[in-house]
Amino acid sequence: QVQLQESGPGLVKPSQTLSLTCTVSGGSISSGSYYWSWIRQPAGKGLEWIGRIYASGSTNYNPSLKSRVTISVDTYKNQFSLKLSSVTAADTAVYYCARTHNIQFDFWGQGTLVTVSS
């Protein structure tokens, strides 16, 4: 059973860069035809797809966030990462990482709350 775990700072100052890592266990990030995605959810609101990466490094981003997002992968560590630059309070949310098969998200991390505040 694949498991995913998000990690990173829970507090980021406005205008700085949010950085999170997702560690995958129970399977190789390089095996199978899977993408690996980031999704976020502001408190009390719905889900927003941020972007995804394939083991080869190929990426797709949400057009509304594309100018600020970078997703990278480290196959040796079985991890993938998210960087979101120039954050504001609107970026405060629970951030999830998820395995992506076709376009559905079949395994999710537990989520990590990131608060943007000075």
Partner 1 sequence: QSVLTQPPSVSGAPGQRVTISCTGSSSNIGAGFDVHWYQQLPGTAPKLLIYGNSYRPSGVPDRFSGSKSGTSASLAITGLQAEDEADYYCQSYDSSLSGVVFGGGTKLTVL
Residues that bind partner 1 (CB under 8 A): 37, 46-49, 52, 60-63, 96, 101-106, 108-111
Place of tokens 């990466």: 53
For partner 1, which is the closer residue by CB, 10 or 46? Answer: 46
Minimum CB distance to partner 1, residue 49 (Å): 4
- d(CA 83, CA 69) in angstroms, rounded, equals 6
- d(CA 16, CA 35) in angstroms, rounded, equals 27
Strand, coil or helix: 30: coil
Minimum CB distance to partner 1, residue 55 (Å): 19
For partner 1, which is the closer residue by CB, 5 or 16? Answer: 5
Minimum CB distance to partner 1, residue 42 (Å): 12
For partner 1, which is the closer residue by CB, 36 or 61? Answer: 61
Q: Are 24 and 106 within 8 A, CB to CB?
A: no
